[in-house]
Amino acid sequence: MVKRQKEQLIVKPPTERLADTAREAARRGPPPVHLWNPPLTGDLDMEIRRDGSWHYLGSPIRRPALVRLFASILRREGAEHFLVTPVEKFRIRVADAPFVAVDAEAAGEGRDQVITFTTNVGDAVTAGPDHPIRVAHDPRTGAPAPYLHVRDGLEALIDRKTFYRLVDLATVERHDGADWLGLWSGGRFFPLAPAAELP
């Protein structure tokens, strides 16, 4: 079933059909989403909200296993996000980052510290050169929004409770000619805020 809305082709395939195609591809191992290149099928009325919840046709997807499956076939191209299988490609809406880092564990100290995050879809990601931490600021309020790179341009918003725990682990280091509060993980220093701006 399809309909025209705002000049875009909105497609309404059964989510189970899409899930079955994704499951079949996943049986061979982790989905090589970056290698699949089917033509755009259309826009799917699916949204990932800022809190990491997935919604289809305006209703939340309440099955964690289905959310994890869809997350495994998610791909970012530029500013757009797609669910991709070997034969179909659907554009979806993402309000902010598609994932949320809901917990973090630190091992070691100082430059030897390693921080491993857990996302809302169950991925474990260790911050380091391939998985950097960055902090953006709301242009209106200046409030910090910390992110962790998960894979292939997809990020996780680090939730508030986890970020506050990380700040307790932070140290002040020299970075780009100034003192910064930041975190060590995987042999790399990730700046969070200029030390001069700390209370």
C-alpha distances out from residue 153 to 24, 88, 134, 135, 168, Å: 25, 20, 13, 15, 28
Q: pLDDT tens, 150-173?
A: 999 999 999 999 999 999 999 999
C-alpha distances out from residue 151 to 29, 47, 133, Å: 16, 19, 12
Residue 6: pLDDT over 60: no
CA 55 – CA 70 distance, rounded (Å): 12
pTM for the model stands at 0.87
* pLDDT value, residue 143: 83
Which helix (H) or strand (E) element contains residue 23?
A: helix 15-26
CA 158 – CA 167 distance, rounded (Å): 12
Confidence at 86, pLDDT banded by 50, 70, 90:
confident
